[in-house]
Amino acid sequence: MPRSFCLTAVILVMSLVLTHEASAQGSSRRAPRKKPFAAFNESAQRLKDSLATRLAAVPAPPLLAVSSPVDESILRDSVLAVARSQIGTRYRLGAEAPGKAFDCSGLIRYVLGALRLEVPRTAHEQSKLGREVARDTAQLRPGDLLTFGTKRRITHIGIYAGNGQVIHASTSRRRVIETSLSSLGPSLLRNWRSARRLIDVVDEVPEVQ
């Protein structure tokens, strides 16, 4: 084989190798292109986060809005009457059976259901009902909900009965009881997260269509 032909072939192969390496280095320096709609998705997420922040600052309305203190008192008394009718009913996780068994959120669901209110099943979901009020017995009203748990999740809920008392399905006593807040124990009191008001007097009560 002629020497000139071999030399030409070697030069050609080296040229192809160098060209490929240069191309690879150039492509690695180029910024990766975003996937289609990535920019749109990022913008939509920012808008969603902004809207969520604004909505969080808007106080939630009461579940039961009334136009007079008399109506408010009647509703609060009704809540307590239904709750007290179940005192002594045994505790069972996941239960919602009047006169037979309740867990904490099952009791809340039953009591409010007697007032024809459809509420969520779990304590964590129920803790978002109504509007938040101060955890101060001087400001709490009978019928307010008291929630307990961690910062991330509410695990227990009860009904404020007035005069520092609470009605709840107790996991330790294994039944529905009415007891003082102070007797709940340091662990539960330490995890008292919020008080929620469901019944309130408002200036204008929307008409039922």
Is the pLDDT reported for residue 18 higher than 70? no
DSSP string, 114-164: TTT----SSHHHHTTSSEEE-S-TTT--TT-EEEEE-SS-EEEEEEEEETT
Please name the residues in contact with 200: beta carbons below 8 A apart, sequence gap of 6 or more. 62, 64, 65, 66, 72, 130, 131
| 6 catalytic per annotation | no
- Sorted by where each starts, the structural domains of the chain and their CATH numbers stand as 63-201 (3.90.1720.10)
| 20 catalytic per annotation | no
Is the pLDDT reported for residue 12 higher than 60? no
Q: At what angle do helices 69-84 and 104-113 cross, to 10 degrees?
A: 130
pLDDT score for 63: 76
Q: Per DSSP, what are the bridge partners of residue 64? A: 199
pLDDT score for 36: 56
pLDDT tens for each residue of 38-48: 665 676 677 66
Please name the residues in contact with 136: beta carbons below 8 A apart, sequence gap of 6 or more. none
Instruction: Give me 52's structure tokens.
Output: 């969520």
Cα–Cα dist 93/146, whole Å: 19
pTM of the model: 0.69
The average confidence (pLDDT) of the chain is 81
**Running DSSP on this structure, what letter comes out for residue 36?**
T
Q: Tell me if 149 sits within 8 A of 124, measured CB to CB.
A: yes
Identify the active-site residue in 6, 20, 104, 124: 104
